[in-house]
Every structure is written in C-alpha cells, then in structure tokens.
Structure 1
C-alpha cells in the first residue's frame, strides 16, 4: 500500500483514507482545515485506478466481498506495523466513503489502532466488532445521501456504540459530498 507523509510541528498525526476515485491528495484540504499543524500520513487505495481507485473490491449485490476485504485489511495492518508514527500524542484516522468503510474493517481487527476515528459518509456493510475500545469515533452522514443511506449509517452508529462507547453521530444537510458545515463541525469536536 502506497502512502506519503507531510511533517507538521504538532506531535499529532492525521492518517487519511480517500473515497472511491480519490487519491493521496484528496483529503489534504480537509485535514489542513481541521488541524493545519498536524503531521499527515495519506494512503492510496491499491484496487482499481483513477476514478475507480479504492481500498477494496467493489461491492457485489450491495455486499462486501469478505475475502478480499479481510485480505486488504490484513495487508494494511502489516504495512501499519512498519509505518506507524511513534512517540506521538494523538493519532486520528480520517476516512471518506470507501476510506471510511475501510477504517471500519480495520476497527473489526484492531479496535485500539488510533486515538480518534473520523468516518465521513460510511455505509453500513455488515461489520462485526468483537472487541472495542475507548477510541473517540465521529460519524458524519448526509441527510440526502443516496450512496450511504443516513438511516443505515445511524444504525451503524448505534452498533458501534455497543463496542466503542465514545461514538458520536452527526447528520448534516447534504448528499454524499463533504460540505463546509461538516468540516466546521469536525474542527470544533476534534480540538
């Protein structure tokens, strides 16, 4: 899995997971808006290319291809073991759409991987959380989102709360896109 990093003056890291069709640069502005002084580690999905680039294979009939999904998560965890920032005060994973869904797969296997998790517009794809932690999780959803249905995302939030008690759900007036109101909200809660 390819990645790149940008050094910042804070002893804090934001790890970015783009959405479908994105790249390692897609979420830089959002990360900079949230905390301009953080170090950045941005990953690039290795399935597909250009407008179909993603972290795991496309869904089949609305469902994860579990074998592929689990293999991709394990590949990330192996990479993470070698690239994980050390001696840092805070690690935040931030993912949008496909990247947020991928982070959920990571949480299935490694519930204490980060101090904070931001899931922007994740889909409820039948995750199974056996463990949990006190990680702070923020989930955002668009009230008019037709790709990640907000009611299903709220159900996902309730499922997460059973294993991760510090889970917060925020519904914003948008579709599947990230809006300024969402970034403003995240900036406030992540300080």
Structure 2
C-alpha cells in the first residue's frame, strides 16, 4: 500500500520525535486536526488523512447504513487499507514512536485498526468513539496508553457504549485514562487538554 493511498496532509518528524496520525470526524477533512497536532507537539511528524467514503458529501472512513449501524464488511476492508497506509507512512521514520488520535468516525477507524493491529500505535486518543460490537480480546494492547473521552448525554455515542469500551480496553491491560463531560457529542477544551497530556507525557 503506497503512502499516497489516502489524500493526506503530512509533515515529517524531527529526528526521534513521534509521528501523530490524526483522524477527522464525519464531514471533516485532513485539515480538521492537523494544526492541533502540530500545536501539541511541534517537533512531531503529522499524518492527517481524508476519509475516502462519501456520505451525502460528508467524508468518512467507512460506510454505515444508519446512525450507529456499520457496514462491517466495509469496515473490515477499510481497516486493512488504513493499517497498510499507516505502516507505509511510519516506514519513513522507523525510529519514531507512533501516536494516533481521532474524533467520532475518526476515533472509530483508529480503534478498529488498533484492535486488528495492536502493535502499530504506542498511544491512542479516542475522542467520542462508538464501537457498537463486542470486540474479541486483544491482549497485545497491554501497556498501550489509551485516552477515551465521552459526553454522558451524547446522542451519537451513548454513554453505556462508551463505558463498555473503557472497560474493554482496561480488560486488555491498556493504560486507560478518561475525560467525560456532562454534554453531548461536542468536543470540549478539557478533552483537548487530556489529549495534550496523552501525547506529551514522558
């Protein structure tokens, strides 16, 4: 899989600095989090791909048939494609740690990749993810730093699903931190600060 298999904004890392993969939400694009990643870690490389699925003109990373109803075959295919893209991008800086974060649909593709390829990422930030299936155990995620953020009244990512995902990552032995607010699907400043802590912690 070539490094140009997705349209993406990219920036090379300084020597030894991590590469941050940033995944936008539905209707976003490669610009949504590119600057944020640079602001959090100025020396880091950044790879911010654009989802290659169009839902009524809104970019996404995989298809769905309704709110919270995923096309699981399509998700499986696009998980493989994204994992190959990540590996190809990471090969350009083989000594760099690999970090990733995503919001909403971007968090979902990132989570799916991490579940299938648990050795790809050293740190993972999932901002308002929705994983509406029961993942198989992935013990290789043990020790991975994972941030999960959520809104307790999120109409798109219901809180019980968020709690279930938090518990699942904990059961794999991941180092899980959370940031939960009383609101909905909105991304709040405390979530960005939690992401900053995840990405900059020694």
Q: Check 1:109–1:23 CA distance in 2 against 1; reply closer, same or farther (3 A cut).
A: same
2:156 paired with 1:147: yes
In 1, Cα distance between the equivalents of 2:13 and 2:119?
Answer: 24
Q: State the Cα distance separating 1:180 from its structure 2 match.
A: 1.4
The answer to whether 1:24 aligns with 2:7 is no
Q: Deviations over 1:3-38 (max 9, x none)?
A: 220235361111011110010001123323422332
| Separation in structure 2 between the aligned mates of residue 81 and residue 187 of structure 1, nearest angstrom | 24
Of residues 103, 111, 118, the one that matches 1:96 is 103
Deviations 1:81-120 (A, max 9, x none): 3222433342111110001011111122101111000000
Q: What residue is the counterpart of 2:3 in the other structure?
A: none
Equivalent position of 1:159 in the other structure: 168
Alignment length (residue pairs): 191
| 1:21/1:50 contact within 8 Å kept | no
Measured at CA, do residues 129 and 4 of structure 1 come closer, stay the same or move farther in structure 2, by a change above 3 Å?
farther
Secondary structure in 1 matching 2:155: coil
Instruction: Provide structure 2 residue ranges, at least 5 long, that are not aligned to the other structure.
Output: 1-5
Residue aligned with 2:53, SS: coil
TM-score by length of 1: 0.89
Question: Please, what TM-score do these two structures have when normalized by structure 2?
Answer: 0.85
Moved more, 145-154 or 59-68: 59-68
Q: Which of 124, 136, 155 pairs up with 2:145? A: 136
